Amino acid sequence: MNEPTATPEDRTLGHVTVRFGARGGKYPHGNSLLIEGRDETIVVDPSLSLIARRAHLPRVDRVLNSHCHEDHIAGNHLFPDAPWHLHELDVPGLRSLDDMMAIYGYAGPIDTAFRQVVVDEFHYTPRPDAIPFRHGDVFDLGGVRLRVLHAPGHTRGHCIFLIEPDDVVYLGDIDLSSFGPYYGDAWSSLEDFERTLAEVRQIEARWYATFHHIGVLEGRAAFLERLDRFAAVIAGREQRLLEFLQQPRTLDDVVTHRFVYRPQDPVPFADAVERRSMSQHIERLLGDGRVEAVDGGRYRAVR
């Protein structure tokens, strides 16, 4: 994997340092957090971009991951002597490569190819002794406290972290990007993600940090503006789906049309993501009576 060189300067927010990833944290890179207390230093979501900076990292006492996806654990291997912590629902992904791949739910050649990418390009390292945390757990670093809030949808165990007294919220992959929420894996849930977005909207802080793209926002107004645009992508996908289903279509038709990725995006697992994402929308629309099943395994919008 070629290593982009354009990396913004780090941002210090009290005891928290945002170590920006290459290209502003654009996938496959990301923005990691270093949180330094009087007694301990924690790194949150060590990204690929930390690998080139390993010689300049401080001593790290613990690794915390917001969830178990390849880009968020890519730098975990830099800290073999520190305990690794992950929410109890995602911690199985660190036990073995097979357990990690179950999170995505790919099959056949896509699974074979992507598991090689996870190992070769994202440095997957199994850690059977990874320590689970739960909603409400607090890590006390000495003068700094990190509180865990379970925020599922992206994965079953996705979490955000509140860092006190610096008034920082780390949002993980609620990344506020124009791409919108991602709920295309076997362990993803559209409905959970929507509930999470409603709950996150109530959080008040000075600083809001994301793993990808945005990096750091200051102030609740800026956060809410981005959050509303991010959340609106879900409704946009659903509306486009309803328009597409004015004519009877199969799920294969929906997958080929593309509602999550653009048709020209060269994403090898795009079909799997489209199938998982849009089948959740279809299931909801069937339940709401806005779509009906017709002959030949097709679906049609109810007029």
Q: Residue 7's pLDDT is what? A: 58
Q: Which of residues 232, 265, 288 is at a domain's end?
A: 232
First to last CA, the chain: 49
Do 222 and 250 sit in the same domain of this protein?
A: no
Candidates 226, 221, 216; CA nearest to 204 is: 221
DSSP string covering 153-179, please? SSSTT-EEEEEETTTEEE-TT----TT
Instruction: Supply the CATH number for residue 83's domain.
Output: 3.60.15.10
Candidates 178, 143, 199, 163; CA nearest to 64 is: 163
Do 264 and 174 sit in the same domain of this protein?
A: no
Q: Residue 5's pLDDT is what? A: 45
Instruction: Say if 2 falls within a structural domain.
Output: no
Q: Residue 112's pLDDT is what? A: 97
Structure tokens at 58: 């401080």
Do 195 and 250 sit in the same domain of this protein?
A: no
Instruction: Supply the CATH number for residue 253's domain.
Output: 1.10.10
Q: Which portions of the chain are predicted below pLDDT 50?
A: 1-6
Considering its fold, how many domains does the chain have in total? 2
Rounded CA separation 19/250 (Å): 45
Give the angle subtended at the CA of 247 by the CAs of 269 and 250, to the nearest 5°.
35
Do 252 and 177 sit in the same domain of this protein?
A: no
Instruction: Say if 155 falls within a structural domain.
Output: yes
Q: How many contiguous H segments (helices) and E segments (strands) does the chain have?
A: 7, 16
Q: Say whether the peptide bond before residue 28 is cis (omega within 30 degrees of 0).
A: yes
Q: Residue 276's pLDDT is what? A: 98
Do 258 and 179 sit in the same domain of this protein?
A: no
Q: Residue 91's pLDDT is what? A: 98
> What is the DSSP pairing of strand 84-87 with strand 62-64?
parallel
Instruction: Say if 162 falls within a structural domain.
Output: yes
Q: Which of residues 211, 232, 253 is at a domain's end?
A: 232
Amino acid at site 251: L
Instruction: Say if 240 falls within a structural domain.
Output: no
Q: Which of residues 210, 232, 254 is at a domain's end?
A: 232
Q: Residue 141's pLDDT is what? A: 98
Q: Residue 107's pLDDT is what? A: 95
Do 29 and 70 sit in the same domain of this protein?
A: yes
Do 16 and 120 sit in the same domain of this protein?
A: yes
Task: Report the phi/psi class of residue 190: left, alpha or beta, with left for phi > 0 and alpha for psi in -120 to 50.
Answer: alpha
Do 257 and 211 sit in the same domain of this protein?
A: no
Instruction: Say if 239 falls within a structural domain.
Output: no
Candidates 74, 70, 105, 50; CA nearest to 280 is: 105
Do 157 and 132 sit in the same domain of this protein?
A: yes
Q: How many CB atoms sit inside 10 A of residue 167's CB?
A: 15
3-state helix, strand, coil in the chain (%, to 5): 35, 20, 45
Phi, psi of 25 (to 5 degrees): 80, 20
Rounded CA separation 123/145 (Å): 29
Instruction: Say if 163 falls within a structural domain.
Output: yes
Instruction: Say if 4 falls within a structural domain.
Output: no
Do 226 and 252 sit in the same domain of this protein?
A: no
Do 124 and 256 sit in the same domain of this protein?
A: no
Q: What is the residue range of 153's domain?
A: 11-232
Do 133 and 281 sit in the same domain of this protein?
A: no
What contacts 62, CB < 8 A, 6 or more positions away?
A: 40, 42, 43, 82, 83, 84, 85, 139
Q: Say whether the peptide bond before residue 46 is cis (omega within 30 degrees of 0).
A: no
Q: Residue 180's pLDDT is what? A: 98
Q: How many CA atoms lie within 13 A of 44 on its CB side?
A: 31
Instruction: Say if 237 falls within a structural domain.
Output: no
